[in-house]
Structure 1
Amino acid sequence: MKRAVLLLALLVSSTASAADLVVDVTNVRSSRGHVRLSVCDEAHFGGEGCAYDGVADAREGVTRVIVHGVPAGRWAVQAFHDENDNEAFDQNFLGLPQEGFGFSNNPPLRGKPHYADSAIDVREPTTEISLRLRNSIFD
């Protein structure tokens, strides 16, 4: 019996800690499509290949997206409003966004955002943040 209790204690203590990251995305301009977001480490922030993703039906105003199982630590969030549901962040021929976009901590934009300006600390069991979508680069 003692051996089983010890084994169970070892298994529980060796599991990786993880949190639910709750993101309230504000300034969503319509209820069309979905709000998609990625939780990224520094190497992937501002691009593709982020470790964790979340999606929710868009709701005009505020859309809540929950990402389960994010390990505690330092992460940055990037989000966009996929109004046409093509699962891609649409840009025009000049590379300007055609859909709402945003980043954790709502950093000022002078080109691509910096990880240091958007990084947040995710802690167990739940971390809640808010980020504001920009519906143009001038927003």
Structure 2
Amino acid sequence: MPITVCRTEHFNAAHRLHNPAWTDERNAQVFGKCNNPNYHGHNYNLTVRLTGDVDPETGYLYDLKRLSDLIKAQVLDRYDHRNLNLDTEEFAHLNPTAENIAVVIWQRLRPHLDARLGLSVTLYETDRNFVEYYG
């Protein structure tokens, strides 16, 4: 019977939402304050969910300490206290919207997990704004 385990982590990062193909006016109109040329930051909350069947030998779906270590290595060490636009290769040419950040995080985690496990990522940009990605 499938079950889901979750791990929540936190990181801080700055970014600027900007489309270089657009005029400054259009960027300001679409992205508003998030287009600030001097960037702005968020205190992101990330929840990673794994879904599958419990291993009858261990009683685990997945060892949550291993999941914590994986998130640290693939996400926190890479994005925490960084400017996503300037300090990361993933967002050098990809607009770091919450949607895109969630997809990139999912893509970084997926290769390290058994294919039998369902993976989803929920990224809270604020307490009221969040995105979910299921792959």
Report the TM-score, using the length of structure 1 for normalisation. Answer: 0.28
Structure with the higher strand share, 1 or 2: 1
**Structure number with larger C-alpha Rg:** 1
Structure with the higher helix share, 1 or 2: 2
Report the TM-score, using the length of structure 2 for normalisation. Answer: 0.28
